Amino acid sequence: MDMPDTTVLIVDDEADIVSFLRDALEDEGYEVLTARDGEEAVRQAEKGPQLVLLDVMMDGMNGFEVCERIRSTVHGPIIFLSACQEEADRIKGLVVGGDDYLVKPFSLSELKARVHAHLRRERRQSESREEEILRFGDLTIDYNRRTVRIRGEEVELTAKMFEIVWLLALNRGHVFSREHIYERVWGLEADGDDSTVTEHIKKIRARLQAVSPDDNYIQTVWGVGYKWK
């Protein structure tokens, strides 16, 4: 089950947890980076890990803030680790750019299973891309660079925002329900609900219109879902 050449970043302010998780993942064949606080996590994220395990409750910069800081450089899955069980916390984790939310205490076997599942999904998506660049008038979507540009100006999107844009644009004219978007972008293993899709769509529209106010690329089909115009 090991995935060679795969780097995982572990971020937690408890040394025992970092050591335990590092040993467990190294045994699985992963290369492991570690960080004990938010600032160190941001620095380590610049090394390009394929997956991040991110504690929420840390002194200084918390996990949600770290996620927002590193989302532009980390394109792989981010799994939150937290003792907070409230639905609002899980939803916030997904909205700020996380892919999964695992409540402490968790079993090591479940953690490994989620890590494997997310990485398999990322690889399947990468291998199945038939087109790498999509163009719609002044707008260009480059999957390999994971960028969206309008008249050459880049639109800053989180990894999940980009995945939503790519899904809709690649299937131009097809209407996707919120549930379908959630399943395709976050995966069946994710712990959350499709309300986060609505929040992501709002943010995507705001960022696109900040660059091109007169264009409305994502259309709401009332009672059904969304489509790329």
pLDDT at 128 (0 to 100): 56
Can you give the pLDDT at residue 122? Answer: 78
Q: What is the mean pLDDT of each run of 10 residues along the chain (229 residues)?
A: 74 95 94 95 92 94 93 87 87 88 91 91 66 87 90 92 93 89 77 81 95 92 91
pLDDT of residue 126: 65
CB atoms within 10 A of CB 1: 10
The DSSP code for 71 is T
DSSP alpha helices (H): ranges in 96-194?
A: 108-127, 159-170, 178-186
Q: Do 91 and 195 contact (CB within 8 A), yes or no? A: yes
Quick one: pLDDT at residue 1? Answer: 45
Q: Collect all residues with Cβ–Cβ distance below 8 Å to 61 and sequence separation of at least 6.
A: 37, 38, 39, 41, 69
Q: Specify burial of residue 67 (Cβ count, 10 A radius: 0-12, 13-18, 19+).
A: buried
Inter-axis angle of helices 108-127 and 15-27, to 10 degrees?
60
Q: What pLDDT is stored for residue 189 in this prediction?
A: 57
Per-residue pLDDT at 53 = 97
